[in-house]
C-alpha cells in the first residue's frame, strides 16, 4: 500500500461521505518531500481534523511512519474541504 492509498483509507474510515474524498500526491519544491492533498466534504472536516487537530496529527504520524519505513521521505499532508 503506497502513501496515497494509506491516507485515503484512513480518511475514508473517518468520514460519512466516503465518495466525496479525494487524495492526490503532488510534487514538492523541497527535496525528499512528498505533498499529499486531501479534499473532503465540508460536513466531514470536523471528523477528519478532530478536537484540537488530534486526528489530523494522528493521520500525519501514521503516514510519516510508513514513509520512513519505505522511502525515508518527509510527508506533508494538507487537508481541505470543497
* CATH code for position 50: 3.30.300.20
| pLDDT, tens digit (0-9, with 9 covering 90-100), for 19-77 | 999 999 998 888 889 999 999 999 999 999 999 999 999 999 999 999 999 888 899 99
CA distance linking residue 29 with residue 79, whole number of Å: 19
Boundaries of domain holding 59: 3-81
- When pLDDT is averaged across residues 4-14 and rounded to a whole number, the result is 96
Q: Is 76 helix (H, G, I), strand (E, B) or coil?
A: strand
Domain count, the chain: 1
Amino acid at each position: 500500500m503506497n502513501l496515497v492509498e494509506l491516507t485515503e483509507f484512513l480518511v475514508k474510515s473517518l468520514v460519512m461521505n466516503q465518495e466525496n474524498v479525494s487524495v492526490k500526491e503532488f510534487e514538492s519544491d523541497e527535496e525528499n518531500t512528498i505533498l499529499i492533498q486531501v479534499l473532503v466534504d465540508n460536513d466531514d472536516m470536523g471528523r477528519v481534523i478532530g478536537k484540537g487537530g488530534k486526528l489530523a496529527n494522528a493521520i500525519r504520524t501514521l503516514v510519516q511512519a510508513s514513509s520512513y519505513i519505505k522511502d525515508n521521505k518527509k510527508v506533508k499532508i494538507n487537508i481541505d474541504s470543497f
